[in-house]
A = this chain, B = another copy of it.
Amino acid sequence: MGLTIGVDIGGTKIAAGVVDEEGTIRETCKVPTPPTAEGVVDAIADAVRTVSSSHQVEAVGIGAAGYVDDKRATVLFAPNINWRHEALKDKVEQRVGLPVVVENDANAAAWGEYRFGAGQGHEDVICITLGTGLGGGIIIGNKLRRGRFGVAGEFGHIRVVPDGLLCGCGSQGCWEQYASGRALVRYARQRAVATPDNAAILLGLGDGTPDSIEGKHVSEAARQGDPVAIDSFRELARWAGAGLADLASLFDPGAFIVGGGVSDEGDLVLEPIRKSFRRWLVGGQYRPHAQVLAAQLGGKAGLVGAADLARQG
């Protein structure tokens, strides 16, 4: 099979791209994400038609946040769009006349990294995406593992603190409350309230109040040596690394790939994560250690991965 299309549904933009067998994006198009559930379906179809007009494409892969069923056809539940048992595959196929597969967006990104990014050459890879929340995907034996019902790899919602922070999912103590972009900002704000003297750089990047601190400020301030920003990254890394150690006990992969916006900071965040991983890895002196790698495809991993999953059929 030759060219396929990958679609990435974001909170503000829907991106569609024509991708070749090497994972290279030949053409892309972005449209705003409509506010209604049905509008999103139409926008996906429009974007697909736009990019496919000048290419011979054979299939479409769509990455969507939420639970996708085991047939890769129906979105069981989407956290941000009002989709409940939405037959997305059928609806888009009817509109664009191409075979469609639907995949969880973090699964698609994991597959993209495995095929064309940091995971190349590995058979068993676990990807985690530290974005606003925490997602992930599982590759075992060179296959994406989706679970019996399609909803495996929901790493962000394992419980790491009993009776811990409330999560949007309704549970408490979920990993993504402690290791994600949102967590990073919370760490920085709390510390800036308690010890403003140590957050002078950080506070100066916003309007001077802790509430104005955003993720980009924490990154910038950390690079400038702000103690509170550095400590916030360290706290994030403590939780991220400890969670990877748990995943190593369970999956024992050859490599972990850490992606998402937080990982854009590279070794600023990767090195503390590696240190924490070694600290908490059970039996570390008796077993080979998985590598902890930075993702390579950035924000394109989901689109490229979805396109490739469509190619695989």
Contacts and interface: CB of A to CB of B under 8 A. Distances in A.
Given A165-B164, A165-B166, A147 B253 contact: yes
Contact of A252 (B122, B150, B158, B249): B150
Nearest to A285: B193
A230 to B, nearest CB: 13
Nearest to A251: B152
Interface in A105-153: 122-124, 138, 140-141, 143, 145-153
Contacts of A283: 67, 77, 151, 154, 157, 169
Given A159-B160, A159-B245, A153 B287 contact: no
A118 B59 CA distance: 40
Given A161-B164, A194-B280, A288 B149 contact: yes
Given A147-B124, A163-B161, A154 B249 contact: yes
A284 interface: yes
Contact of A250 (B158, B170, B253): B158
Contact of A170 (B145, B164, B190): B190
Given A171-B282, A172-B165, A194-B280, A145 B140 contact: yes
B161 A161 contact: yes
Nearest to A178: B163
Contacts of A146: 252
Interface string A210-251: 000000000000000000000000000000001001110111
Contacts of A245: 159
A281 interface: yes
5 contacts: A141-B145, A154-B250, A163-B178, A170-B282, A194-B284
Given A150-B252, A171-B280, A194-B278, 13 more contacts: A124-B148, A146-B252, A148-B254, A149-B252, A153-B250, A155-B249, A157-B249, A160-B162, A163-B165, A163-B178, A164-B164, A165-B165, A166-B166
